């Protein structure tokens, strides 16, 4: 049963993974100023790219175009980048490479600028692994002008701030609807700058197009109810037992609550999940009378009784494959913390007082494959690696060890 389930899920995963859409309609402008329609691989760039992958049709092989080959490209209504030669402030922002001078360290570089707002007043962004910079253009007054913000070290060891971008915008964005206080409170953040630029454009009746919005609305925090069933089994080895005992496979119920935090990059495909879950496994195994195979309870008969109630807290990463608007496939990689809840394993030697092994804290790994429908319903197949469930393997002179495994089918319903 387990093998069939795993096989079926992985076949489904393989089919759907190959069918997901990576390339989206767009265009690029080449060195001859010709606009060429194509399909562009949308990786929702965290850092500004210096090359893109394109295809001219779904059947074509991908082709890479570098910044030397294109002046501009756009994935329609989602991302637009313009190649420009600009004065780029390369000042470090970390304490390890932060300078002690207030003035920016400007270098002339040719880069792709990400278009945030496009119009008579435009806002652009440049980001790499070390810096974040904004630029703006205003009619014929300013063109790809850097907005300067710089942190720098002071002699007393504290950090100073050069916020020249506030004076730059205050001087050039004159409007009765904008107060000096709004410029004073302006932050060097995309959202803060967008708000100011929109207000100025509305005040001056300027048209603009925004590229920073997602075409699909995402909730970056989700809470889900996660019921399901688990196929659990356990091996036991202990004092007085000559061989490993394979306890009966059990189908058990589980109930959990998942919190999901979605990262705002790479098309919102990555998430962190935490999923506290309760479940219970019970089994009994009667070993034969070691003297005469009698079924009557006596000093020779041995009985293993397991009552394992536990709380699991899987913590890990999830990656989504977006198939279409209403259907996603995902994979999980999880680290699992387990806690025994007022439960124990008893090993009975005939009429003697049973030996009790308490269940303690455990750790293991889990891997999951699933799908989500309409951003509301989900199903997942999750395989866990084996774990030792005993908190202490010794009770007096008695020794016991276990090997607990489970495969779960988990259903989900998103509350919000």
Residue 135, both tokens: 């630029």
CB atoms within 10 A of CB 105: 12
What does R_g of the chain's alpha carbons equal in angstroms? 31
Instruction: For residue 239, report the phi and psi dihedrals to the nearest 5 degrees.
Output: -60, 140
Residue limits of CATH 2.40.160 in the chain:
221-414
pLDDT per position in the chain (416 positions), as tens?
555 555 555 555 555 544 455 789 999 999 999 999 999 998 888 899 999 999 999 889 999 999 999 999 999 988 999 999 999 999 987 777 788 889 999 999 999 999 999 999 999 999 998 899 999 999 877 899 999 999 999 888 789 999 999 999 999 999 888 999 999 999 999 999 999 999 999 999 999 999 865 544 556 889 999 999 999 998 887 666 667 778 888 999 999 999 999 987 777 889 999 999 999 998 888 776 655 555 455 555 677 788 888 999 999 999 998 877 788 899 999 999 999 887 777 766 554 556 677 777 889 999 999 999 988 999 999 999 998 887 655 555 556 678 889 999 999 999 98
Query: What pLDDT shows up at residue 215?
Result: 46
CB pairs under 8 A, 24+ apart, for 153-162?
Answer: 153/95, 153/98, 153/99, 153/100, 154/100, 155/100, 159/98, 160/102, 162/102, 162/103, 162/104
Q: Are 306 and 281 in contact (CB under 8 A)?
A: yes
Tell which residue, 366, 337, 193, has the closest CA to residue 277.
337
State the Cα torsion 164-166-168-174 to the nearest 10°: -170
pLDDT at 50: 94
Q: Please give the Cα distance from 225 to 57 (Å, whole number).
A: 42
Tens digit of each residue's pLDDT (9 = 90 or more) over 371-391: 999 889 999 999 999 988 876
Contacts made by residues 14-18, CB under 8 angstroms, sequence distance 24+:
16/321, 16/323, 16/329, 16/371, 17/321, 17/329
Report the C-alpha dihedral over residues 207, 212, 214, 217, rounded to 10 degrees: -90
Distance from C-alpha of 230 to C-alpha of 85, rounded to nearest angstrom? 59
> With helix as H, strand as E and coil as C, how does the chain read?
CHHHHHHHHHHHHHHHHHHCCCEEEEEEEECCCCEEEEEEECCCCCCCCCEEEEECCCCCCCEEEECCCEEEEEECCCEEEEEEEEEEECCCCCCCCCCCCCCCCEEEEEEEEEEEEEECEEEEEEECCCCEEEEEEECCCEEEEEECCEEEECCCCCEEEECHHHHHHHHHCCCCCCCHHHHHCCCCCHHHHHHHHHHHHHHCCCCEEECCCCCCCCCCEEEEEEEEEEEEEEEEEECCCCCCEECCCEEEEEEEEEEEEECCCHHHCEEEEECCEEEEEEEEEEECCCCCCCCCCCCCCEEEEEEEEEEEEEEEEEEEEEEECCEEEEEEEEEEEEEECCCEEEEEECCCCCEEEEECEEEEEEEEEEEEECCCEEEEEEEEEEECCECCCEECCEEEEEEEEEEEEEEEEECC
Q: Report the alpha-carbon distance of residue 245 to residue 236 in Å, rounded.
A: 5
Distance (Å, whole) CA 358 – CA 141: 76
Dihedral angle sign, alpha carbons of residues 4, 9, 15, 17: negative
What is the per-residue pLDDT for 383? Answer: 95
Q: What are phi and psi of 351, to 5 degrees?
A: -90, 5
Protein fold of 221-414: Porin (2.40.160)
pLDDT at 286: 77
Residue 206 contacts by C-beta under 8 Å, 6 or more apart in sequence?
119, 120, 121, 200
Query: Is the distance from CB of 50 to CB of 83 less than 8 angstroms?
Result: no
């Amino acid at each position: 049963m387990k093998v069939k389930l795993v096989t079926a899920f992985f076949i489904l995963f393989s089919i759907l993974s190959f069918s997901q859409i990576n390339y989206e309609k767009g265009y690029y402008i080449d060195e001859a100023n010709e606009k060429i329609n194509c399909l562009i691989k949308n990786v929702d760039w965290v850092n500004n790219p210096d090359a893109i992958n394109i295809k001219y049709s779904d059947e074509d092989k991908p082709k890479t175009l570098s910044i030397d080959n294109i002046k501009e490209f756009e994935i329609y209504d989602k991302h637009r980048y313009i190649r420009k030669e600009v004065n780029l402030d390369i000042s470090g922002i970390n304490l390890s490479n932060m300078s002690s001078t207030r003035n920016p360290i400007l270098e002339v570089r040719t880069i792709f600028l990400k278009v945030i707002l496009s119009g008579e007043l435009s806002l652009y962004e440049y980001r790499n692994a070390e810096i974040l910079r904004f630029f703006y253009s205003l009619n014929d007054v300013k063109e790809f002008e850097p907005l300067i913000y710089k942190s720098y070290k002071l002699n007393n060891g504290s950090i100073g701030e050069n916020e020249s971008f506030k004076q730059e915008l205050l001087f050039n964005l004159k409007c009765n609807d904008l107060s000096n206080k709004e410029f004073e409170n302006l932050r060097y953040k995309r959202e803060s700058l967008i708000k100011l630029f929109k207000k100025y454009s509305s005040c001056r009746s300027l048209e603009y197009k925004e590229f920073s919005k997602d075409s699909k609305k995402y909730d970056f925090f989700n809470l889900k109810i996660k019921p399901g069933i688990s196929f659990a089994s356990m091996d036991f080895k202990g004092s007085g037992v000559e061989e490993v005992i394979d306890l009966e496979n059990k189908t058990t119920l589980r109930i959990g609550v998942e919190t999901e935090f979605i990262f705002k990059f790479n098309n919102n495909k990555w998430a962190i999940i935490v999923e506290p879950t309760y479940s219970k496994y019970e089994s009994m195994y009667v070993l034969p009378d070691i003297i005469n195979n009698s079924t009557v309870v006596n000093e020779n008969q041995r009985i293993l009784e397991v009552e394992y109630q536990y709380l699991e807290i899987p913590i890990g990463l999830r990656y989504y494959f977006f198939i279409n608007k209403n259907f996603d496939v995902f994979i999980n990689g999880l680290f699992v913390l387990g806690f025994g809840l007022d439960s124990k394993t008893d090993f009975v030697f005939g009429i003697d007082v049973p030996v009790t092994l308490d269940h303690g804290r455990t750790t293991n790994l889990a891997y999951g494959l699933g799908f989500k429908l309409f951003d509301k319903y989900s199903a997942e197949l999750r395989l866990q690696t084996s774990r030792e469930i005993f908190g202490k393997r010794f009770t007096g002179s008695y020794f016991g060890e276990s090997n607990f495994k489970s495969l779960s089918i988990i259903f989900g319903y998103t509350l919000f």
